[in-house]
Structure 1
């Protein structure tokens, strides 16, 4: 139950941060380019990389697990799922799993766009 609570609270904080950062950036920079989402995704990738390394089990032992759950799964997960996507791809590359990396990256992008477009079409015709 404690794990779920850490994820729940962290996810709420991350989602709220995503909303605030996107809103502030989009109000500050008026452009067709989605700077708010772009900045959230890039900063989320930085944060997950930092948290994964800094709160590693080799550094702090088992005591780091609640922090990793709260910060990585909770806050970063709520802030942006792109950070998880990025860190998983880095892990695949680090493990020399190039084919899996390519399939995961291309498949996620292609199927993600297709799924979004399919959802729009379904909603239009519903």
Structure 2
């Protein structure tokens, strides 16, 4: 029961954080490219990479990793925005979004794991 509560609490902070990041970043760009979601997902991957290295309890991981990072990052919005770009005829941006999101997300998580491991491991 405590683990579920931790996930809920983390998500209650992560979801609004994602929305605020998305709006703050996207409002600064005229492009169709979904910069807000891209940034929120990248930050989430980076943070999750760090969290996986730290010796945290199951409850803290439920709060921070599953709850917060799970709500901060959003695969469904990434997928929707990629499809939207295709429908709007911006196929190049759709491919760029898909490739860059996956590549940068994996790179962010990998770098975070490496750096956190060097600092805390």
TM-score normalised over the length of structure 1: 0.57
Structure 1's unaligned 5+ residue stretches are: 83-111, 118-126
Q: Could you say which structure has the greater relative contact order, defined with CA pairs below 8 angstroms and 6 or more residues apart? A: 2
- State how many pairs are aligned: 80
Match of 2:66 among 67, 73, 89: 73
Q: 1:67-114: CA deviations, max 9, x gaps?
A: 1110000000111145xxxxxxxxxxxxxxxxxxxxxxxxxxxxx67x
TM-score normalised over the length of structure 2: 0.59
**What's the offset of the Cα at 1:50?**
0.6
Partner of 2:52 in structure 1? 52
Task: Indicate yes or no: 2:29 matched with 1:36.
Answer: no
Runs of 4+ in 1 over 4 A off after TM superposition: none
Alignment partners' CA distance in 2, 1:44 and 1:29: 21
**Retained in 1: the 8 A contact 2:37–2:74?**
no
Q: What is the root-mean-square deviation of aligned Cα atoms in Å?
A: 2.3
Partner of 2:8 in structure 1? 8
Structure 2's unaligned 5+ residue stretches are: 85-121
